Amino acid sequence: MLISHATQAAPDARANEDCVVTGPDFAVVLDGATTARGVDTGCVHDVPWLVSRLGAELSRLLLTESLSLPDTLAASIEGVMKQHVDTCDLDNPDSPSSTVAIVRGRGDTVDYLVLSDSPVVLRDNVGAIEVVHDDRLDALPGYTAEIVRERRNTPGGFWVASNAPLAAHEALTGTVPRDQLDCVALFTDGASRLAERHGLSWADLIQLLDQVGPAAVIERVRHEDERVAGGNPGKVHDDATAVLCRFDAESASVSSAPA
């Protein structure tokens, strides 16, 4: 698997609350939920702390164990909880949280996992696109702190990586034969908005990512964000992360290596 990635804080943000980790045969993308002002999270840590610890746990387990992706994520959430159970109230329903997107090659197959709104997009050898998008957050009746708190990690609500390892088993998952895949992309919503908000088709977004690379895709996002900023009621920019995992390039890069 040939992996390229880029992540960038929103131009007006103090810190990047996205995190990306890649290894020889895996890529992980996390998007920490920004804490609403005035909400007591019960946690002395900030969002970058949570996503970096979760990224580290996931990467450690992906490198050293051969668990299913939901089991990997459940153990990682548990591992992070252990790191602040002594200092923080992990029963607090507003405890910091993150989305999770994982792609992992294993032998002849490729596994993916999507928890909350960081989509994974697969393009097969004939150019067909499959978007794995967990849209349960979109189905909430509203986004007040009360509604989000009530519905978080609850059946019929939405699921995120935070203080409940069982959320990992609510993720969208799948396995695809490796030789049928051309490439797989992972995004946080700060980057996938090129398709979700700025009018590109998913196929065009993957094509762009493949042609210009992740950093140029994020540049394009910033440009489009600025262009529509006048009529946009939400925040103009968000932290943005894009990852491209290529499969056909494996054989090409080996055969083109100097003898």
Closest to Zn ion by CB, 90 or 131: 90
Closest to Zn ion by CB, 45 or 149: 45
Side-chain-side CA neighbours of 130 within 13 Å: the count stands at 17
Which stretch in 45-53, 71-79, 161-169, 250-258 sits in contact with Zn ion by CB under 5 A? 45-53
User: Restricting to residues 143-182, which ones interact with Zn ion according to CB under 5 A?
Assistant: none
DSSP-based three-state secondary structure for 117: coil
Nearest approach, Cβ of 64 to Zn ion (angstroms)?
Answer: 25
Bridge pairing between strands 129-132 and 120-124: antiparallel
Nearest approach, Cβ of 49 to Zn ion (angstroms)?
Answer: 7
Q: CA–CA separation, 174 vs 254, rounded Å? A: 28
Q: How far, in Å, are 22, 60, 98, 157, 213 from residue 246 at the CA level?
A: 13, 22, 26, 34, 12
Nearest approach, Cβ of 96 to Zn ion (angstroms)?
Answer: 7
Closest to Zn ion by CB, 6 or 58: 58
Considering only residues 45, 106, 149, 197, which one is a binding residue for Zn ion as defined by CB under 5 A? 45
Determine the size of the site formed for Zn ion (CB under 5 A): 4
User: Restricting to residues 76-95, which ones interact with Zn ion according to CB under 5 A?
Assistant: 84, 88
C-alpha closest to that of 153 among 143, 142, 145, 161: 161
Q: CA–CA separation, 63 vs 33, rounded Å? A: 26
Closest to Zn ion by CB, 12 or 40: 40
DSSP-based three-state secondary structure for 242: strand
Rg (CA), the chain: 18
Nearest approach, Cβ of 89 to Zn ion (angstroms)?
Answer: 9
User: Restricting to residues 24-43, which ones interact with Zn ion according to CB under 5 A?
Assistant: 43
Nearest approach, Cβ of 164 to Zn ion (angstroms)?
Answer: 15
Closest to Zn ion by CB, 35 or 59: 35
Nearest approach, Cβ of 43 to Zn ion (angstroms)?
Answer: 3
Q: CA–CA separation, 70 vs 147, rounded Å? A: 26
**Binding positions for Zn ion, rule: CB under 5 A:** 43, 45, 84, 88
